[in-house]
Amino acid sequence: MDNLLSVALPLYRMKPIAWLAFEGLCRQEDAGDWELIILEEVEGSCGEEYVNLYTDGLVAAGCKTVKFYRYHEHVRLLEKWIRASQLMDVRSLGMLLQAGDDYSQKFRLRDTRKAFLDGYSWYQENTALSYNIIQQTSALLDVNDYEIFKTGESKAISADFARAITDNGAIRGIDHYLHSIVANGGGNIYATNPENLSMNTYGFNHLSTYRGYFVDMLKPPFYRSYTTLEQVVGSDIAERLRNLQVEVQNSDIAERLRNLQVEVQNKDNMKIKMTTNRQVVGKDNMKIKMTTNRNVYKSGQIYDVPEEVGVLFVLENSAEPVEVKEKMVETTYENKELKPKLQNKSKKA
């Protein structure tokens, strides 16, 4: 198996949506040989069930082996990526980061392999379709020329950098952390805008809690999309995704989602309050104080960030807005009565 790829698929209580990842993988074209590494908790597991359902499709798409790694207690996503890198075949070119609720465009594996063979250490697609299952809305994810959101969709990391990943304790912002390992380590970054879009979804994601709000409100890096759901995944999968709206509402995370909807409804009021109390540093910017480590932002430090980033971090309880301390301005007051100017002497002719 020359030029083997490793597709790492971490799952956590994603049975209602994980089929979407398998649908994308089974539709890969010109993918070459690859292995699938599934990492999930025993409680609520679904990986083996889906492998049995999609065996023929996986084999037809080039999958040679499937590896299962099961946890008897919940672990962080970063721990799963690290374990996956340790389970990779020694001949693997690199590891594709496959989310359980995402759909990969049909040439993802082909394009990733080519990038690795061309000497790149990180692959990503800068544009993708984002779909909110709860609200049945979509937007275009576009991270081109965006300094804060540096990672896009369909990410992959070369084998040498994957095996060098260390655990920094991060809970969120994992993609940015892995990207920084490559960027800071001198690896070459390959970012593309593919003709065929991949898709990420919101509704069963346990980490990107507020992605749905940004999709609905078209907050960067999400923008109005003129691509339909059917154009990306086909009519059958599109219909199945729309039918998931009811399943989301009846799932074990329904209460969390209902609370989120209430929070989103109060978002405008919160934004007004934040805008009133925050330290304004420039157009559409705000200052925040980090309360946790998030991407390159360190706990306890104050940062000047774009407003959409600051709002997101505050909503995630990763930061708090820096309040304005009103400066006492020294003033003077003068009440002056105006009188007409009188000539003391008149001019003589």
Question: 22, 18, 246: which is closest to 136 by C-alpha?
Answer: 246
The first and second tokens of residue 192, run together, are 């593309």
Dist CA 245 CA 229 (whole Å)? 15
Mind listing the pLDDT tens digit for each residue in 215-238? 778 888 889 999 999 999 999 999
Confidence (pLDDT) at 299: 84
* Share of the chain residues as helix, strand and coil, in percent rounded to the nearest 5: 35, 25, 45
Question: 113, 135, 98, 100: which is closest to 245 by C-alpha?
Answer: 135
Q: How confident is the model at residue 203 (pLDDT cuts 50, 70, 90)?
A: confident
The first and second tokens of residue 170, run together, are 């991060």
End-to-end CA distance of the chain: 117
Dist CA 111 CA 117 (whole Å)? 10
- With vertex at residue 108, the alpha carbon angle to CA 103 and CA 109, rounded to the nearest 5 degrees, is 120
pTM of the predicted model as reported, rounded to 2 decimal places: 0.76
Question: 112, 206, 103, 92: which is closest to 155 by C-alpha?
Answer: 112
Question: 318, 324, 325, 328: which is closest to 286 by C-alpha?
Answer: 324
Count of C-beta atoms within a 10 Å radius of residue 81? 22
Contacts with 7 (C-beta within 8 Å, 6 or more apart), sequence order: 25, 34, 35, 36, 37, 63, 95, 96, 98, 109
Dist CA 81 CA 154 (whole Å)? 15
The first and second tokens of residue 340, run together, are 């007409």
Q: Which residues pair with 191 in a beta bridge?
A: 124
Domains identified in the chain and CATH numbers: 5-261 (3.90.550.10), 272-321 (no CATH)
Q: How confident is the model at residue 213 (pLDDT cuts 50, 70, 90)?
A: low
Confidence (pLDDT) at 289: 86
Region of poorest pLDDT, from 31-45, 96-110, 179-193, 242-256: 242-256
Question: 123, 113, 96: which is closest to 189 by C-alpha?
Answer: 123
Helix axis angle for 267-277 and 254-265, nearest 10°, is 50
Q: Which of 12-21, 138-147, 155-164, 304-313 has the highest mean pLDDT?
A: 155-164
pLDDT of 343 strictly over 60? no
Confidence (pLDDT) at 266: 56
Identify which has the larger pLDDT, 115 or 135.
115
Question: 40, 42, 161, 29: which is closest to 95 by C-alpha?
Answer: 161
Dist CA 314 CA 323 (whole Å)? 13
Q: How confident is the model at residue 338 (pLDDT cuts 50, 70, 90)?
A: very low
Dist CA 298 CA 313 (whole Å)? 12
Mean pLDDT of all residues in 39-59: 93
Dist CA 268 CA 266 (whole Å)? 6
* Mean pLDDT of the residues in the chain: 83
